[in-house]
Amino acid sequence: MNTTKVTVWNEFRHEKQNGKVQAIYPGGIHGAIAEALNRNPDIEARTATLDEPEHGLTEAVLDQTDVLFWWGHMAHGEVSDTVVERVQKRVLEGMGLIVLHSGHFSKIFRRLMGTNCSLSWRENDDKERLWNLQPGHPITEGIGRYLEIPRHEMYGERFDIPEPEKLIFISWYSGGEVFRSGCTWQRGHGKIFYFSPGHETYPVFHDPQIQRILLNAARWARPTVRIVDACPMVEPVEPSR
């Protein structure tokens, strides 16, 4: 069995500052996601947070990371550009990246997309229904026609992203909006999945169907190659003249 090594990164600020969030995620959002992933014998998940040295994302940690999960919101600006460049380089070499919810505005996601990654939003306990557009895709394995989050923050269009290479989920909200809530891209050799559920004041990451999608995404995004970029001068395969 091929083990997939996952690092779940979280800025881990809301949980320290807001009692409501702390009650939902006593071990942090990163802890809840890693715990759910670690119930599967083919996954080895560890965690990293903003306030650790180098945000917990040292070269040594990234050497041992097949897939990186990213949750951030209030402290995107505190993430050092050195670490962002390091993560970008790893993605281009083949590391998978799963960007969650408000990570749409993280430095790493915006850099990899090359667009603003802005969207519209509202905190009003909307019901969200995520439609499964790709029932044959590895990320939706075990997921039916749709899933519902009874109360959630609304994320709506227009989402300023490059055209997704595969649109996996589209969300409908009780307030009337729609949103491209599950999208994939490849950058260099790395696979990227953006998945919008996961506002901190709702227990979204305790939902078994959401956990299943995160597991599927980790398995899908694991590297098939790791290639360090170079720009070599090469000899001809045949004598060229």
Q: Which residues bind Zn ion (CB under 5 A)?
A: 102, 153, 199
Residue 146 exposed, middle or buried by CB count within 10 Å (0-12, 13-18, 19+): middle
Nearest CB to Zn ion, comparing residues 11 and 153: 153
Nearest CB to Zn ion, comparing residues 66 and 128: 128
Nearest CB to Zn ion, comparing residues 88 and 102: 102
Q: Is 117 left (phi over 0), alpha (psi -120 to 50) or beta?
A: left
Q: Where are the alpha helices (DSSP H) in 38-170?
A: 59-63, 81-93, 107-113
Quote the least distance from Cβ 101 to Zn ion, whole Å. Answer: 6
Quote the least distance from Cβ 71 to Zn ion, whole Å. Answer: 10
Quote the least distance from Cβ 207 to Zn ion, whole Å. Answer: 16
Nearest CB to Zn ion, comparing residues 29 and 213: 29
Q: 206 in helix, strand or coil? A: helix
Residue with nearest beta carbon to Zn ion: 199
Q: What angle do CA 1, 223, 179 make, to 5 degrees?
A: 110
Quote the least distance from Cβ 102 to Zn ion, whole Å. Answer: 5
Quote the least distance from Cβ 128 to Zn ion, whole Å. Answer: 12
Nearest CB to Zn ion, comparing residues 43 and 214: 214
Q: 51 in helix, strand or coil? A: coil
Tokens 């519209």 locate to 120
Give the Cα separation of 14 and 25 in Å (integer).
10
